[in-house]
Chains A and B, each alone.
Chain A
Amino acid sequence: MPEYTLRLQRFSPQTRPEPWWEEVTVELDRHHSVLDGILEAKERDGTIAIRYSCRAAICGSCGVRINGRPGLACHTQLGEAAQAASGGAIVIEPMGNMPVLKDLIVDMDTVHWRKVKQVRPWLVAAEPQPEREYIVPHETMVDVTQTMACIQCGACVSDCLSMEVDPLFVGPAALAKAYRFVSDPRDADDRGRLRDLAEDPHGLYDCTHCFNCVDACPKGVAPMNQIMRLRRIAGSDLEIDDANNGLRHEHGFVDNVRKNGLLHEGDLLTDSYGGKLKPRTVFVLFDSLPGILQALRRRKFSLHAALGHPHRDARRGHQRYFDRIEARPERVELNLYFSGYEDDPGSTPSVPTGEDSAAVASGPNPRKLRDRPGATS
């Protein structure tokens, strides 16, 4: 059997104040998991600490960083991890954005679970309650299942860039949990939930679309997608005009691209606040002056680029994308959990064909389904 070297980050504040590195060699088949490797090392040195239980990627205990990327130790094979390792050793560290308690064990209570509690994480049942189960379309429950598949492992929290900058950010896992309720036709509080999240300066509009959480999630929950879906429901459907200017920024962004063909960053700030002539824009520009001057000094942009429109030629033809998307009778929401595979020819015909065949659409906006007659009984 091949040998693998694990480079473990150790931390045991009772014996040493600072973390240290330790290399251990284990002899295991390449199909064994990184967790198997750590447990092999732990048999030799019982002081190595890691939370673990199911070893089947369902309990969510063994979230760690492997070669710098967050994931479950039980879910990563030693062979793969060794290939991805740069210096020959598989580097295993505790997850980020959370305080380390011992070795690979982090304090999830003060970060992850605290944030989950912020999103009112239980169903607020729609009234009147039916005598039996709620009658709801199958597709809505399948859609909810994607976010229910979250095992609360913390991998997305570990590498959330926004949370690194703003530790108060509600974060990917908790926002995915919020989507689970907002999208559930049995929940009566979607407007209240979304208003709270949109008005929270560390809430819905704090995400910067970096995709780290989508990459990190071992269960296909795609937290960032759920955050974007929350924004679409908050903005387009419920028209929640938030104090953080999140909604207007999104509209300003789209209008800016529509107008210029490519994003014209010089106008983005003013577009987000409704144009240069709006009084509040003047205040914002004034407030942002130090930042603007610094950007000019560091040549992040130039007056020529800001005031002229050197890329206007790119505009030609881009309108057809807007036309095509805006001509759709309904918004297409992709549920990536149940897709990511091309379909077999001749498989069951319940799946949309044509341009969306790569994914099973989750159907019409689930939130709207509650308004249908007979949605509850």
Chain B
Amino acid sequence: MHDVLILGAGLAGQRAALAAAETGASVALVSKVHPVRSHSVAAAGGINASVGEGDSWEAHAQDTVKGSDYLGDQDAIEVMCREAPAEIVHMERLGVPFHRDGKGRLATRPFGAASQPRTCYVADITGQALLHVLFEQLLRLAERIDRFEEWFVTRLLLDDDGACVGCIARNVRDGELRVLQAKSVILATGGAGQCFQPTTNAFICTGDGVAQGYRIGAPLMDMEFNQYHPTTLARVGILITEGARGEGAHLYNARGERFMESYAPNKLELASRDVVSRAEQTEINEGRGFPDGTVALDITKVPRNRTLEALREIVNIGRDFAGVDITREPIHICPGMHYMMGGVKVDVNGASPVPGLYAAGETACVSVHGANRLGGNSLLDTLIFGKRAGEHAGARAPEVEPPVVSDAVLADEERMIARIIGREPRGRKVSELRKELGRTMHQHVGVYRDANGLGAAHDAVRRLREEAQTTWIDDRGTLFNQDVLGALELGHLLDVAECIVVAAQSRTESRGSHFRTDYPARDDARWLRHQIVAANGDGRPEMSSAPVTTTRWQPEERTY
């Protein structure tokens, strides 16, 4: 039994673990991969905080509110932006080698939709640097934080009063199932980018925590908002950091026109991500892209030595994954699925409406990103709200009675796994279903959406859910049986995908990343509110809504 059980060991999970341990709570951290393999490692460009001279947390908050297309909850945004500088300094003191300005202070680079250079960075491996430094702290505190590395959570556990009291997890190495009990559970399993193909997200981003929270009754919020990043490699979806445009790279269509001049005359390439992605997709759809369905990102505008020092990783990516020397020639890119703004609905302490259940990072929806997240705000979100969730869950421990969970639930879970392994080899395999889901979501629930496409996507998801009940696998062993985990992940993806689609169908307006060609205008009178998706009794999603919290920034027309 632990006071705090954290599922997922990316930035939000590791930060939560440290914060909870500092309250004196006993902590366990469970991850289906080794913690440094978590997808936070791929975050490149940086993390926002108003540390520069002349900057203020209010300016940061205002940019975030506008970026969210006024759907972000402003009380939560204020918390995040106010606490950002102290958190950056905290991470710096733990050892993150943030790059410096000429005076030896934290340097900042310009990022999309930011009124000032506000993004702190470590070359273009900021997420990796943060994640590895946090993991160093986990090693330092190994006696106070138990790590379950390569354990896959199969389900969350509720007690008779409806409080979340732990989970069942399977040791990937040998198939052992175990009940992990806790007074509080923090979901920090990242996003569900693998609902889409292609995506910048890693194979592991399968929405495990979102789906498992949803299954025990936690409401999900803002699920219709899925961010397409403007610069990803066409076939593989690998991310080219926004830092490239922050450092001065330009976008061109196949005719050599710097097309952002007509979409965002002031901010150009540094408009917010939804705006740039839509502009690119419009150019491509209207025949001004390249034959491979792309436009060009020209990083040769950035001085070469600066690129080698500050954008080193995308020099490697260009060379290794596209065969392009980005310091010499433009690279072809297109918008690609990158981030989900929605997730498990939580308050500013990370608490969900289910007692004992918390969420943080991409798994959660606070909502600080609203309809569109700003680049550099996701790393910040993971640290600020990971920390707050860890502190809150840790502080709660002395007041909560230790849960009692019978090991009988294990037998049910054993049978569930055995049923998957024992399925007859008929019909399609897990990987085929997963591919169809990804293609369908990308085709119909991408940058541009409409009622017909969303309807088709909904039908496909329902059909795939049926088929997933009988889909079969090869591996019947217990040693690193990745096959059986794939079947469980498919279930998570389908749950999340269904919530995304029904929320997108229901919102009949265009806001932020959610653009309906059949409802192209923003409609504040009807839609300045969050949509909530919750599972009703028979596993179907049920819609409701919640108000948006506005403190000081009233909705305005949004241009860049």
Q: Is B93 a contact partner of A145 (Cβ separation < 8 A)?
A: no
Most buried by A among B95, B173, B304, B474: B95
Q: A186–B104 Cα gap in the complex (Å)?
A: 12
Which of B122, B140, B316 makes the CB contact (< 8 A) with A148?
B122
Q: Which residues of B contact A57 (CB under 8 A)?
A: 316-317, 320
**Known A-B contacts A133-B98, A141-B97, A151-B128; A13 and B483 likewise in contact (beta carbons under 8 Å):** no
* Interface of chain A: mostly helix, strand, loop or mixed: loop
Which of A55, A109, A142, A184 makes the CB contact (< 8 A) with B309?
A142
User: Which of chain A's residues 103-154 have a Cβ closer than 8 Å to chain B?
Assistant: 103, 105, 108-109, 116-117, 121-123, 125, 129, 132-138, 141-142, 144-145, 148-149, 151-152
Interface flag for B106 (CB, 8 Å): yes
Q: A149–B315 Cα gap in the complex (Å)?
A: 14
**Interface size of B by Cβ–Cβ distance < 8 Å?**
72
Q: Is B478 a contact partner of A47 (Cβ separation < 8 A)?
A: no
CB-based nearest B residue for A138:
B100
Q: A344–B303 Cα gap in the complex (Å)?
A: 10
Q: A30–B321 Cα gap in the complex (Å)?
A: 11
Q: A213–B98 Cα gap in the complex (Å)?
A: 27
Q: Is B202 a contact partner of A55 (Cβ separation < 8 A)?
A: yes
Interface flag for B404 (CB, 8 Å): no
Q: Is B303 a contact partner of A347 (Cβ separation < 8 A)?
A: yes
A30 to chain B, nearest CB (A): 10
Q: Is A47 a contact partner of B41 (Cβ separation < 8 A)?
A: no
Which of B31-39, B247-255, B268-276 forms part of the interface with chain A?
Answer: B31-39
Q: Which residues of B contact A61 (CB under 8 A)?
A: 33-34, 37
Interface flag for A83 (CB, 8 Å): no
Q: Is B305 a contact partner of A45 (Cβ separation < 8 A)?
A: no
**Known A-B contacts A121-B136, A125-B93; A101 and B41 likewise in contact (beta carbons under 8 Å):** no
Q: Is A47 a contact partner of B477 (Cβ separation < 8 A)?
A: yes
Interface flag for A236 (CB, 8 Å): no
Q: Which residues of B contact A149 (CB under 8 A)?
A: 123, 125, 128, 312
Which of A60, A144, A181, A338 makes the CB contact (< 8 A) with B308?
A338
B449 to chain A, nearest CB (A): 27
CB-based nearest A residue for B127:
A58
User: How would residues 71 to 83 of chain A score, 1 for a CB under 8 Å from any chain B CB and 0 otherwise?
Assistant: 0000101000000
Q: Which residues of A contact B483 (CB under 8 A)?
A: 46-47
Q: Which residues of B contact A122 (CB under 8 A)?
A: 94-95, 136-137, 139-140
Interface flag for A102 (CB, 8 Å): yes
Interface flag for A31 (CB, 8 Å): yes
Q: Is B93 a contact partner of A133 (Cβ separation < 8 A)?
A: yes
Interface flag for B486 (CB, 8 Å): yes
Interface flag for B178 (CB, 8 Å): no
Which of B41, B94, B105, B429 makes the CB contact (< 8 A) with A123?
B94
Q: A347–B101 Cα gap in the complex (Å)?
A: 20
Q: A15–B313 Cα gap in the complex (Å)?
A: 41
Interface flag for B99 (CB, 8 Å): yes
**Known A-B contacts A121-B136, A138-B102; A144 and B36 likewise in contact (beta carbons under 8 Å):** no
Which of A31, A53, A75, A135 makes the CB contact (< 8 A) with B105?
A135
Q: A298–B67 Cα gap in the complex (Å)?
A: 76
Q: A152–B475 Cα gap in the complex (Å)?
A: 28
Which of B88, B94, B139, B204 makes the CB contact (< 8 A) with A117?
B139
Q: Is B482 a contact partner of A49 (Cβ separation < 8 A)?
A: yes
**Known A-B contacts A14-B477, A43-B429, A145-B123; A58 and B41 likewise in contact (beta carbons under 8 Å):** yes
Q: Is A141 a contact partner of B98 (Cβ separation < 8 A)?
A: yes
**Known A-B contacts A57-B320, A101-B480, A138-B99; A46 and B486 likewise in contact (beta carbons under 8 Å):** yes
Q: A220–B123 Cα gap in the complex (Å)?
A: 14
Q: Which residues of B contact A164 (CB under 8 A)?
A: none
Q: A117–B143 Cα gap in the complex (Å)?
A: 13
Q: Is B97 a contact partner of A145 (Cβ separation < 8 A)?
A: yes
A340 to chain B, nearest CB (A): 9
**Known A-B contacts A101-B173, A343-B304; A338 and B312 likewise in contact (beta carbons under 8 Å):** yes
Interface flag for A86 (CB, 8 Å): no
Q: Is A152 a contact partner of B95 (Cβ separation < 8 A)?
A: no
A127 to chain B, nearest CB (A): 11
B320 to chain A, nearest CB (A): 6
Interface flag for B54 (CB, 8 Å): no
User: How would residues 39 to 75 of chain A score, 1 for a CB under 8 Å from any chain B CB and 0 otherwise?
Assistant: 0000101110101111111111100000000000001
**Known A-B contacts A56-B317, A101-B480, A348-B305; A138 and B107 likewise in contact (beta carbons under 8 Å):** yes
Interface flag for A286 (CB, 8 Å): no
Q: A137–B462 Cα gap in the complex (Å)?
A: 57
Interface flag for B129 (CB, 8 Å): yes
Q: Is B39 a contact partner of A53 (Cβ separation < 8 A)?
A: yes
User: How would residues 297 to 328 of chain A score, 1 for a CB under 8 Å from any chain B CB and 0 otherwise?
Assistant: 00000000000000000000000000000000
Q: Is B92 a contact partner of A56 (Cβ separation < 8 A)?
A: no
Interface flag for A256 (CB, 8 Å): no
Q: A58–B136 Cα gap in the complex (Å)?
A: 18
Q: A202–B305 Cα gap in the complex (Å)?
A: 39
Interface flag for B132 (CB, 8 Å): yes
**Extra inter-chain contacts (10) besides given A56-B42, A134-B93, CB under 8 Å:** A53-B37, A58-B128, A123-B95, A129-B93, A141-B122, A149-B123, A341-B327, A347-B304, A360-B305, A360-B308
B interface list, Cβ under 8 A from A:
33-34, 36-39, 41-42, 88-89, 92-95, 97-107, 122-123, 125, 128-129, 132-133, 136-137, 139-140, 149, 173, 202-204, 236, 238-239, 303-306, 308-309, 312-313, 316-317, 320-321, 323, 327, 429-432, 473-475, 477-480, 482-483, 486
Pairs across A and B, CB under 8 Å, 17 listed: A43-B431, A46-B475, A49-B479, A54-B202, A56-B42, A58-B42, A77-B320, A105-B480, A133-B88, A133-B92, A133-B93, A138-B104, A141-B97, A142-B99, A145-B99, A149-B125, A350-B305
